Every structure is written in C-alpha cells, then in structure tokens.
Amino acid sequence: MIQYLKLAQKQDHRRVWSLAWPMILSNITVPLVGLVDTAVIGHLPDPKYLGAVAVGAMIFSILYWSFGFLRMGTTGLTAQALGNSDYNQSRLLLAQSLVLAGVIGLLIVIFQYPLIETALTLVGAESAVTTEARLYSNIRAFGAPAVLANYALLGWFLGNQNTRIPLLLLLVTNLLNMLLDLIAVYGLGMQAEGVALATVISEYASLILGTVLMLRMLAKQAGTTPWEQLKSVSDYYHLINLNRYLFVRTLVLLLTLAFFTSQGAQQGTTILSANAVLLNFFLIISNGLDGFAHAAEALSGKFYGAKDNKGFHRIISATLSWSLITALLFTLLFWLGGELIISLLTNIPAVRLAAAEYLPWIIFLPLIAVWSFLTDGIFVGTTQVKAMQNTMLISVFAVYAPVWYLSQPLGNNGLWLAFLSLFVARGVTGGYVFLKEFKQPLE
C-alpha cells in the first residue's frame, strides 16, 4: 500500500486537486441542502414533517438515481472520447444522454401516481407521515425532466475535465434551494410541500443555467454533432448496453437505502427521524469523498482512453492518498463535533437523544466507505460497469442482507451494523476487481 501511494508525482497531485476541489466545494452544498431541509423541518413542533421529508426524499433518491447512469455513463465515455481526441463522439454522447433524459423524465411525470403510491406502501410509515410524504412527492415528481437532464449535463462536463461549471451549477442551484426552503416554510407557512416546491424550482433553474453554459462550451470546442446518428435508434445501443449495468447497480444500492429507511420507519417515527438526521452525516461523507471519485472518473478515463498505463496508476495513487486523508478528517470531525451537528439539525429532544445514541456508527463510516467510493470512480472512468454491478450484487445479497437478518434482535443497532457491512463488502470486492483488472499494462 505504502509503495503504491508513492507512485504519484507532484503533477499528478496537482491534476487531481485541479479537478477535485471544485467538485468538493460544490458537493458540500449538496448535503447542506439536506441539512437545511432537515433543520428547517426539524424545528417544526411535530416530527411527522421531518419523517415525511425523509421518506419523500428517499423515494426520489431511488427514482432519480436509478437513472444515475445518465451522469456516470456519460462521464466515462466522454472522458475516453477526450483521451482519443474524438470530439464528434463527445458531442454525440451529450445529445444522446439528453434525449434519454427527456424521454425518461416525461415517463416519470406521466406515471407518477402509481410510482408514488407503490413506494409509500412499501415504506409502510405511520399514517400521518405517509400523508405528508404523499404531498411532498406529488410536487417533487414534476422535477423529473430537469433532474435527469442535469445528470447528463454534469456527466458531460466532468468527462471533459471541466469541474468549474458543475461547481457553479451546484452552488447556484443549492443556495437557491436553501433560500426558497426558508421562504416557503418560515415566510409562507408551508411544511413538507414547501420543501418540495423549493427543490423543483431549483432543479429547473439549474437546467436553464446548465444549458446556457453547455452551448457556450460547445461553441469553443472542436468537432460537429452527428445529427443523423442521433436519429438512429441502433446508435444508442452502446450507450444503453453500458448503462444497463449502471442501472442495475444503482437501483440495487438505492433499494438497499430504501430498505434501511423502511426498517427504521417500522421502529417508530422517532427512530425514523433520528436515522434521517444521521443520514445527513452520510451525505456529507459521500459528497466529500465523491470530489476525489469524480477526479478519478475523469482522469482515469482519459489515461485509459489514451492507453497510458503509468499515468493511469499515478493518478489512482494520488487520488487514493487524498481520499484517505479526507476520510480521516471526517472521522475526527464526527467524533469531536457529532452531537453539536445533531443539535443544529433538530431540537426535538427524543430525536436528538436517539441520534446521539447511534452516532458511533457514523464516526467510523468514512474510513470504511472510502474504498468503495474510489473504486467506483475508477470503474466509471474505465467503463468497467459490469464489475460495478456484480460487486454491488454480491455486497448486498451475500453480506448486507444476511447481516441484517441475523442482527434483527439488536434493533436499530443491527440496522446500522448491516449498513456498515455493505461498505466493507463493497470495498473488498471492488479492491479485488481493481487488482485483477489493472495490474497489467493496458493493451
């Protein structure tokens, strides 16, 4: 391990940071939105609103990130096209991803009622929570076309080694979301529906700004868009074939997170709300580590496309170093300031006490999860998406599910034990695939 970490040179660290810091900064705003949502709703007198936002947000995390391949697949393929200096292919990938995003988004809007009702039935929260969650979800569904188109745009920008534009997009959008949250709840007296409305407005604002920046970037970029290929269904085959593995992988992960939320809901509104508070810590972890994972996606894809094996491994070495440092800093932050963060998120005594009780699970999560975030970034960049799918399936069904089943007598502690075991398994299986697939020079 130490020898591998020494592979990176100064320029490799600079490359990683030049891409990672804008994404880290912009990603920080993502959990901040969740923190503000939780803090705004968490200070209302009835915990049902906090539970409703947790359930509704979980439903749309599953629904939208099931199509996260529109971001991940676009990034990997665009990065490889850049490595091959194939700018026509880069433009085609962008156009195809936007077409797919529009079609899928409209289908979600059309079929929102059965999707939402099925999800609420599966979660099985208390009736008061379900009523508010339905109200929240009925509004959030109309943001689907914007959300999925934004995935495609972000993936294309990242694949082109441009993280400054995603930084601008996420900063503007998420700050707008937070402002509208405060206006809707405290200014207009709305509850869960106000948080949902603020999110949808922000999603469309992001799409408008992203489209303007995309057109400006295309005007300066070489190549032309092959419109005839865009009209041909057969030309979507490679993109769809690649993305089907990402779809399965992401869907299984999100269903696992939904199962986690559902099991918490069955233990009562207090446990559901406490877990919702603690999952904001997980959002902080994931979005912080994702900054380096995104750098790994873009840079590993570029070196992989250019068949530069030495450069590929130097970049991974640099990314691994900074990922480990960041994970350690998160662990120290949660150890020293975790209870303070909880107190900022909610003033409901029962929820605060329950969240503090289960905080130790979160403290160790960064050091456990860092490996899976990095290997996922490498697999996206090199389009080893079948490996991503298979490692996720093994981790969920061979580790997470058995651990949860055997630890049910432990209650919510057993649920968190299973949650951490998922990331242990993902790190081990992902590391195995990395050592197997990338130990030889690229042909």
Q: pLDDT band at 42, cuts 50/70/90?
A: low
Q: Which of 28-32, 261-265, 374-378, 421-425 has the highest mean pLDDT?
A: 421-425
Lowest mean pLDDT among 7-11, 114-118, 180-184: 7-11
Please give the structure tokens belonging to residue 281.
Answer: 């810590």
For the stretch 77-108, pLDDT in tens is 888 887 777 788 888 888 888 999 999 999 99
Q: Residue 420 is part of which domain span?
A: 2-437
Query: Does residue 279 lie within any of the structural domains?
Result: yes
pLDDT greater than 50 at residue 442: no
Confidence check: pLDDT of 332 > 80: yes
Instruction: Mark 267-297 as b/e (b = at least 16 C-beta within 10 Å).
Output: ebbbbbbbbbbbbbbbbbbbbbbbbbbbbbb
Q: What is the pLDDT of residue 402?
A: 96
Q: pLDDT band for position 19 (50/70/90)?
A: confident
In a domain, 364, yes or no: yes
What residue type is 254 in one-letter code? Answer: L
Cα separation, 16 vs 291, in Å, equals 10
Residue with tokens 């508070």: 277
Residue 443 lies in a domain: no
Cβ contacts of 337 within 8 Å, gap of 6 or more: none
H-type helices in 221-268, by residue range? 227-231, 237-265
Q: Indicate the pLDDT class of residue 335, thresholds 50, 70 and 90.
A: very high
- Look at residue 442 and tell me if it is in a domain: no
Residue 425 covered by a domain = yes
* pLDDT digits 0-9 by tens, 172-222: 888 888 889 888 878 887 777 788 888 889 889 999 999 999 999 988 887
Rounded to an integer, what is the distance from CA 103 to the centroid of its chain?
22
Write down the pTM of the prediction.
Answer: 0.73
Residue 318, in any domain of the structure = yes
- Biggest CA-to-CA distance, the chain: 62
DSSP H or E stretch at residue 233: none
In the chain, the percentage of residues whose pLDDT exceeds 70 is: 90
7 phi and psi angles, rounded to 5 deg: -65, -35
- Is 439 exposed, middle or buried (CB count within 10 Å of its CB: 0-12, 13-18, 19+)? exposed
As a whole number of angstroms, the distance between CA 294 and CA 354 comes to 34
Q: Which pLDDT belongs to residue 391?
A: 95
Other Cβ atoms less than 10 A from the Cβ of 367: the count is: 15
Judge whether residue 111 has pLDDT over 90. Answer: yes
Q: What pLDDT shows up at residue 8?
A: 73
Question: What is the tally of structural domains in the chain?
Answer: 1
Q: Provide DSSP, 82-105.
A: HHTT-HHHHHHHHHHHHHHHHHHH
Residues 6+ away with beta carbon under 8 Å from 357: 274
pLDDT at residue 443, as a whole number: 42
Token pair 């091959």: residue: 84
